[in-house]
Structure 1
Amino acid sequence: MHKWGKIIASLVVFVAIVSLPFLYNIRKSGKGPVINLNTPAIQKLAVKQCVEPAEWMKANHMILLNQWRDEAVRKGKRVYINSQGKSFENNLQTCLNCHYDPALKTSDQFCVSCHDHTAVNPNCWICHILPKGAT
C-alpha cells in the first residue's frame, strides 16, 4: 500500500537540508556599520534637533520620507509638524543639512554606510540631484 516510512524519512531529510544554512549561520549575524561619531555631519546632530527622536528615525525614516513625498507632490503640503509640535520643511534638504558632509566621499558617510550595510539602494536620487561630491 503506502510507504509511510519512506515518506516520513524523506520529509525529515528534506527539512534537515533546507534548515542547514539557517542552523549554520544562527550565531553569525552581521554587526551594524561603524559610524565615525567625530565627523562634522554627526557633530551637527549634537547641536540641531532631528525631525523626530533618533530611535524612531532609525526605524521609520523611509516611511517618513515616503509620506513627505506623497504630501508634497500630491497635496502640496510642504511643512511637517513633528511629534513635539516643531515644524520642518518636508524635503531632502532638511535631512541633508545634518546628515551630509561633502568632505566625506566614501562609504563612511552617514547615510551611505547604513544603506551599504543593509544592501538597500534608496531611489531618492532618481528625482533629486545628488549633492556635489556625494557617492
Structure 2
Amino acid sequence: MYDKGKIISGLVIFVALVLLPFWWQAGSAGVKPDPQLPKAEKTCVMSKEMMRTEHMQILNQWRDDVVRDADRLYVADNGKKFEMSLSNGCMRCHNDKEKFCDQCHNYLGVNPYCWDCHLTPAQKEGK
C-alpha cells in the first residue's frame, strides 16, 4: 500500500522501455524494393498487378497441375502458351534471382520454399 508510487513509476518505465523500439522505428518502413525486370519487353503469363499479388498461388496451382495431372502447358488469356515451370518458364525471363525475387522477398521477410527443390539459373550454369 505504501509502495504505490514506486509500482506505478516502475510500470511506466517498463511500458516505455517495451514500446521504445516501436517509437524509434515509427514511420520508417525501409527502402522500397526495386526488382529488376527483364530488359526485353516480353509478354508475361498475367498482368504485372496480378503477378505481384498472386504469383505464389499461381506457382502452387501449376505445381499441382504438373505433378498430379501431368499438364505442363498453360494457355494465357491472350492465347499465348507457356511452360508451367519455375526454372524453365519464369526464370527464363526473370533470370536473376537476387535482383528480381530476393528484392521483394527480403523486404517482406518471407522465405519461400521454391529453392528447396529448384535451382536458380546461376546454379544450373555452374556459377
Q: Give the TM-score taking structure 2 as reference length.
A: 0.69
C-alpha deviation, 1:66, in angstroms:
0.4
C-alpha deviation, 1:129, in angstroms:
2.8
Q: Secondary structure at the match of 1:43?
A: coil
Task: Determine which of 81, 91, 97 is the counterpart of 1:87.
Answer: 81
**CA deviation vs aligned residue, 1:65-105 (integer Å, no higher than 9, x gap):** 0000011001111111223232211011110111014xxxx
Task: Determine which of 20, 27, 39 is the counterpart of 1:43.
Answer: 39
Number of aligned residue pairs: 123
**CA deviation vs aligned residue, 1:85-135 (integer Å, no higher than 9, x gap):** 32211011110111014xxxx84x211222222222121122223333699
Letter in 2 for 1:94: G
Unaligned runs of 5+ in 2: 1-15
Percent pairwise identity: 43
Q: Secondary structure at the match of 2:82?
A: strand
Describe the shift of the 1:21–1:85 C-alpha distance in structure 2 as closer, same or farther (beyond 3 A). Answer: farther
4+ residue runs of structure 1 moved beyond 4 angstroms?
16-26
Q: Give the TM-score taking structure 1 as reference length.
A: 0.65
Describe the shift of the 1:133–1:113 C-alpha distance in structure 2 as closer, same or farther (beyond 3 A). Answer: farther
Q: Give the match for residue 33 of structure 1.
A: 33
Q: Give the match for residue 67 of structure 2.
A: 73
Describe the shift of the 1:89–1:30 C-alpha distance in structure 2 as closer, same or farther (beyond 3 A). Answer: same
Task: Determine which of 105, 113, 118 is the counterpart of 2:108.
Answer: 118
Describe the shift of the 1:85–1:22 C-alpha distance in structure 2 as closer, same or farther (beyond 3 A). Answer: farther
Q: Secondary structure at the match of 1:113?
A: helix
Further displaced range: 58-67 or 121-130: 121-130
Unaligned runs of 5+ in 1: 1-15
**CA deviation vs aligned residue, 1:1-37 (integer Å, no higher than 9, x gap):** xxxxxxxxxxxxxxx9988866665522234213456
